[in-house]
Amino acid sequence: MGIEALLILILGIGLMRAPSTLTIHIPPDLKTGAMVQPDAPLPANVYAFAVYIFQQLYRWPTDGATDFSNSIYALSGYLTPTYREALISDLESKAKRGELAGRERGMQELPGHGFSEERVRILQDGVWVVVVDMELLETVKGMSVKRKSIRYPLRVVRYDIDRETNPWGLALDGFASTGPTALDVEEKGD
């Protein structure tokens, strides 16, 4: 009787110490199975996060003058404070030059330039550089004004500050040192 009570007490303490939530990043290809660690983002997940948030940030469906600031605000939980301030500064300078009013913008990942392990480079624990190739499309009053293929080396960091506003626990932290570069559409490598 005493051993059973002791065992129940130990199990109860263990249960109380167990986390109430646990984030598991599942890889997209499970053909060969997967070994995952809790709260350890895999390269495919980091890549998917970077593409999705960056694409949403630069989606201006009606007017860049309002859509860009709305995107920065709506996605602020997925941006580091430093990058958010850089985006606000970029917004202000583009607005002064008249580059946003009436402008619609969209980005899409270039076909054939999707995820591969080489596109996610670990700089240190919790810091990655994600290389994404996007096609940028801009129109003003229905007229196409820009169509470019651009390679963006995005810096992604662990940012597990508020799970309510950022369930990924990751944030965009700007560009890697090289910054965006124009991409020849035929170019596919890293």
* pLDDT at residue number 38: 60
Query: In Å, how far are 72, 117, 169 from 122, measured between CA atoms?
Result: 26, 11, 16
Q: Average pLDDT in the 20-42 region?
A: 59
Residue 184: is its pLDDT beyond 50?
A: yes
Q: Which residue has the higher pLDDT, 31 or 119?
A: 119
CB 136 within 8 A of CB 105: yes
Which residue segments constitute the domains of the chain, with CATH numbers given?
40-182 (3.10.450.230)
Q: How confident is the model at residue 13 (pLDDT cuts 50, 70, 90)?
A: confident
* pLDDT at residue number 122: 92
pLDDT, tens digit, for every residue of 129-172?
999 999 999 999 888 999 999 999 999 999 888 878 888 889 99
Residue 37: is its pLDDT beyond 80?
A: no
* pLDDT at residue number 190: 47
Residue 25: is its pLDDT beyond 60?
A: no
pLDDT, tens digit, for every residue of 91-126?
999 999 998 999 999 999 998 888 888 999 999 989
Phi-psi region of 11 (alpha: psi -120 to 50; beta: other; left: phi over 0): alpha
Sign of the four-CA dihedral 112, 114, 115, 116: positive
- CB-count burial class (<10 Å; 0-12, 13-18, 19+) for 118: exposed
Closest CA to 84 of 95, 92, 75: 75
Residue 39: is its pLDDT beyond 70?
A: no
178: three-class secondary structure by DSSP = coil
List, as one string, the DSSP characters of 77-128: GGB-HHHHHHHHHHHHHHHHTT-STTEEEEEEEPTT----GGGEEEEETTEE
* pLDDT at residue number 178: 80
Residue 189: is its pLDDT beyond 80?
A: no
* pLDDT at residue number 5: 82
Distance CA 127, CA 102 (A): 36
pLDDT, tens digit, for every residue of 60-87?
999 999 999 999 999 999 999 999 999 9
Which letter does DSSP use for residue 23 in this model? -
